[in-house]
A and B are shown apart, each in its own frame.
Chain A
Amino acid sequence: MISEYGGQETWQEDLYSLLRSNDVELFCYVPDGGHKTLINKSIEDPEVISVPLTTEEEGVAMCAGAHLGGTKSVLLMQSSGVGNCVNMFALIKNGQFPFVTVVTMRGEFGEMNPWQVPMGQGVQPVVEAMGMHCLRAETPKEVSPTVQAALDMAYKSNQSVAVLLTQKLIGAKPF
């Protein structure tokens, strides 16, 4: 079953709690319907820093800078944003920075906007080409364990990981 697009469900609340229980304190994002709950909770949480970006690649560099200072972070973006980050991923790869991005997917299962399709198809090959791991969550049940795996790989093994919240999970935006 496809979720209603932009529907905010309990898994999104759980995901925020999971990130906080892993001591993630910097949330960088470009506004996105699928990330609405995470974004709003980070804005309301006095214990974290929530930063809207002008472009996603700023978030890549900010997360690296935060690690230099000892702060855990996450970059929240849509699949189109991955395309804006590619050269900045060189910083993550060369520095072996721990890095987690949670990507809401467009341009795949049931997409009705053709402009989303090219980057939707490109996300996984692009992040893997830049040396990152790519983990997919297809159902609400998979979200928290997948993001936990990403955080462990990042902060215990110095890996960079993109978690894709697939369109089957978040739904297709009606056009």
Chain B
Amino acid sequence: MSDDRSLDRKKAVPAIVGDPKDLLIVCGLAGASKDMAHLTNDGDNIFTMAGAMGGATALGLGLALSRPDKKVLVVTGDGELLMNVGTLATVGILKPANLSILCVDNGHYGETGYQESHTQRGVNLELIAQGSAIPNTRTIDREEQIPEAKKILRDSNGTSFILLKVNTEPPPSIKRSMDATERKVAFRRALLGIA
């Protein structure tokens, strides 16, 4: 138990995601958005949030249903996912093969002063994902598991859910655009060729 939050998100998230270029990426507010904006240089294949807490998984689900030809990755935190954990059940009844969810679980609300989240107090989001009928789930808390996590996120035939347990080291700092309209237009222009 002492060991299960030893991974640093700044290393573990890029290692699991790998080359982000071929993915469509949706990120929940705060840490997860910073992790992924840093990895993609806030590129046109990523839509990050800085509010609308609890919406990231549903946003990614809508995108995945719209674009079954593309791999959609949702990256979000434990707090963001807990706010609308029922969305896992909606994902579970549909199981889009092109949707993967990476929950970066540091057990805390980092943005508001590192108050403990429910996952620090015994709540297991992987079991909730399993119970929500999501077919491929794993908890990753050691470096040697990272290649397996990467394979599951990339190759699963059916929705995958990775619970990545990390320590409370902060996400990378990056100045990302918080203009959701500008991000939407850039995303659609890159994907669809239209605004």
B26 touches A (CB below 8 Å): yes
B47 touches A (CB below 8 Å): yes
**B63 touching A65, Cβ below 8 Å:** yes
**B89 touching A54, Cβ below 8 Å:** yes
**What's the least CB distance linking B193 to chain A, in Å?**
10
**What's the least CB distance linking A5 to chain B, in Å?**
28
Number of A-B contacts (CB under 8 A): 119
Q: Is chain A's interface secondary structure helix, strand, loop, or mixed overall?
A: helix
**A51 touching B55, Cβ below 8 Å:** no
CB-CB under 8 A from B51, the residues of chain A are: 87, 90-91, 94
**B84 touching A57, Cβ below 8 Å:** yes
Residues 66-82 of chain B: 1 if any A CB is under 8 Å from the residue's CB, otherwise 0?
Answer: 11001000000000000
B15 touches A (CB below 8 Å): no
Residues 92-120 of chain A: 1 if any B CB is under 8 Å from the residue's CB, otherwise 0?
Answer: 00111100000000000000000000000
B31 touches A (CB below 8 Å): no
**B66 touching A87, Cβ below 8 Å:** no
**What's the least CB distance linking A99 to chain B, in Å?**
11
**What's the least CB distance linking B169 to chain A, in Å?**
29
A61 touches B (CB below 8 Å): yes
Q: How far is the CA of A30 from the CA of B66 in the complex (A)?
A: 20
**A26 touching B191, Cβ below 8 Å:** no
B1 touches A (CB below 8 Å): no
CB-CB under 8 A from A60, the residues of chain B are: 55, 58
**A87 touching B52, Cβ below 8 Å:** yes
**A88 touching B55, Cβ below 8 Å:** yes
**A61 touching B59, Cβ below 8 Å:** yes
A64 touches B (CB below 8 Å): yes
Q: How far is the CA of A69 from the CA of B24 in the complex (A)?
A: 10
Q: How far is the CA of A91 from the CA of B178 in the complex (A)?
A: 11
**A91 touching B180, Cβ below 8 Å:** yes
B60 touches A (CB below 8 Å): yes
Query: How many residues of chain B are within 8 Å of chain A by beta carbon?
Result: 38
CB-CB under 8 A from B86, the residues of chain A are: 54-55, 58
B90 touches A (CB below 8 Å): yes
**A61 touching B184, Cβ below 8 Å:** no
Q: From known contacts A54-B89, A58-B87, infer whether A91 and B59 are also in contact, taking CB-CB under 8 Å.
A: yes
A2 touches B (CB below 8 Å): no
CB-CB under 8 A from B49, the residues of chain A are: 91
Q: How far is the CA of A131 from the CA of B102 in the complex (A)?
A: 32
Q: How far is the CA of A65 from the CA of B84 in the complex (A)?
A: 16
**B63 touching A88, Cβ below 8 Å:** no
Known: A55-B86, A68-B187, A87-B51. 11 other contacts (CB 8 A): A26-B62, A58-B90, A61-B59, A65-B26, A65-B63, A66-B65, A69-B62, A69-B70, A70-B188, A91-B55, A94-B181
- Residues of A that sit less than 8 Å from B by CB: 26, 49, 51-55, 57-71, 73, 87-88, 90-91, 94-97
7 A–B contacts from the bound complex (CB under 8 Å): A58-B84, A61-B56, A65-B62, A69-B191, A69-B192, A70-B66, A87-B52
